A and B are shown apart, each in its own frame.
Chain A
Amino acid sequence: MLDDMGDDLGGGRRGFLKCMAWAGTGALFAFEGGIGSSIGLDAALAAPAKHMVTQPFTFAQISDSHIGFNKPPNADARATFREAIAKVKALPHRPDFVIHTGDVSQLSRDEEFDDAEQMLKELGLPVFFVPGEHDMLDPDGGKAFLSRFGKGSQGAGWYSFDHRGVHFVALVNVADLKPGGMGNLGAAQLKWLKSDLAARPSSQPIVVFAHIPLWTVYADWGWGTDDSAEALKLLARFGSVTVLNGHIHQITQKVEGRVAFHTARSTAFPQPAPGTAPSPGPLKVPPEKLHGMLGITDALFVRGHDRIALIDSTLIA
């Protein structure tokens, strides 16, 4: 079946849709294609060379690895992260790159970051990061993360890059959080975003990724970003915007106009659905259920067919 999918993806739209039917859990979004211009940072230079799109491409999202977490329901978040990496390696199409949407570590300790980095090296792929709040806990408030995973980024770690005509924007909404608030982008980052998007044609597909959801999933648990509306206003003119987040350790998705929002599973532990538990703490599922609640997301761009697909899969083989 995986081989079928491999042939299908290269073989045109009909095959691709068949693949989607097989995937079952994926979400399919329409978008209008466009041609990107070139702008880059150090991080982007590590990505495969950009060229005009003639072939579809995929990238994978992993999130909330919480390396160092060792309490119920997962005594070893390193082990499940390793399984997630194996899952990415086993995808029917080798992704062009991977994004990690934050909470790489549990406590921002050097050995946690180091283990994550070493394990990710096994992929042999470029990895683009944004920090989660768990990655900001060193005495310098995030410098340990940025010096390792945020080279070439600006401010608290934001940046953008182009890949095969798609513009990727990495935003940070876990820095300098305000009492009583939720996630926060801040004026400096919004100003940067405005100038980053200014010269781009509205037809260019945009993928935005950040740790905390950029829409309010559940305010009582702080699952949202206070000033996300200002970012979305800047994105409103684009024909295709995909927003990828983590933080809440479960899949949620929403389509609003031309913006598709999606959150990924964690590779470490699940969290309860909004309001279904006294707190958003780890959902203490029995061991046999854990792997079915952890996973990765595979994103497929099929240019020329006006489609982006997000396929979530769990760590169950």
Chain B
Amino acid sequence: MTPESKTLAFQATALAGGALLLSTVSVMTRAAPAPAAASVEIANFTFKAPVVTVKPGTTITWTNADDIPHTVTSSAGLFKSKVLDSGEKFSFTFAKSGQFGYFCSLHPHMTGSVIVKA
């Protein structure tokens, strides 16, 4: 084998290795869990799941199914949706553990809570 052909063989191996590495990364990416999500419907002037328990990083989406607008407003000022007309949605991702109360700022007797724990 000439020095030149040795180099080529090495390059071929390196390429194959690189391809293998790439495909491994790709498999790992696919295997990772999808971002957690949960949903809460707003209907009949109530948050239909008044207490939701999720893992950190979960995104919760509220959907207003009423004919009357509502909001999703954190009691502690952590988040506040704009006014949600019929069919409109609001999402918030809960990164940290804890209990997070919220209410509708138009109809404050409507309350709900999100419990985030690992």
Contacts and interface: CB of A to CB of B under 8 A. Distances in A.
Interface of A: 71-72, 106-108, 133-134, 136-137, 139, 177-182, 219-222, 278-282
B75 to A, nearest CB: 5
A280 B44 CA distance: 8
Contacts of A179: 75, 101-103, 108, 111
Contacts of A136: 106
Contacts, number: 56
Q: Classify the interface of chain B: helix, strand, loop or mixed.
A: loop
B69 A177 contact: no
Given A279-B44, A281-B45, A134 B106 contact: yes
B68 A181 contact: no
Contacts of B66: 279, 281
Given A72-B67, A179-B103, A282-B68, A107 B44 contact: no
Interface of B: 43-46, 66-69, 75, 82-83, 85-86, 101-103, 105-109, 111
B109 A220 contact: yes
Given A178-B108, A180-B109, A71 B45 contact: no
The 4 closest A-B pairs by CB, nearest first: A279-B44, A222-B109, A179-B103, A279-B45
Nearest to A183: B108
Contacts of A107: 69, 83, 85
B48 to A, nearest CB: 12
B43 to A, nearest CB: 8
26 contacts: A72-B67, A106-B69, A107-B69, A107-B83, A108-B83, A133-B107, A134-B69, A136-B106, A139-B82, A177-B108, A178-B108, A179-B101, A179-B102, A179-B108, A179-B111, A182-B109, A219-B109, A220-B109, A221-B45, A222-B108, A279-B46, A280-B45, A281-B45, A281-B66, A281-B67, A282-B68
Contacts of B85: 107
Nearest to A269: B67
A179 B45 CA distance: 14
Contact of B86 (A71, A108, A178, A182): A71
A280 B109 CA distance: 12
A219 to B, nearest CB: 8
B45 A137 contact: no
Given A182-B109, A222-B109, A282-B67, 11 more contacts: A72-B67, A107-B83, A139-B82, A179-B75, A179-B108, A179-B111, A180-B108, A180-B109, A181-B109, A279-B46, A281-B66
Contacts of A219: 109
A42 B82 CA distance: 32
Contact of B44 (A72, A134, A222, A281): A281
B42 to A, nearest CB: 11
A278 B44 contact: yes
Contacts of B67: 71-72, 281-282
A180 B103 contact: yes
Nearest to B67: A71
Contacts of B83: 107-108, 137
A25 B105 CA distance: 35
User: Which of A108, A179, A279 neighbours the largest number of chain B CB atoms within 10 Å of its CB?
Assistant: A179
B106 A180 contact: no
Contacts of A134: 69, 106
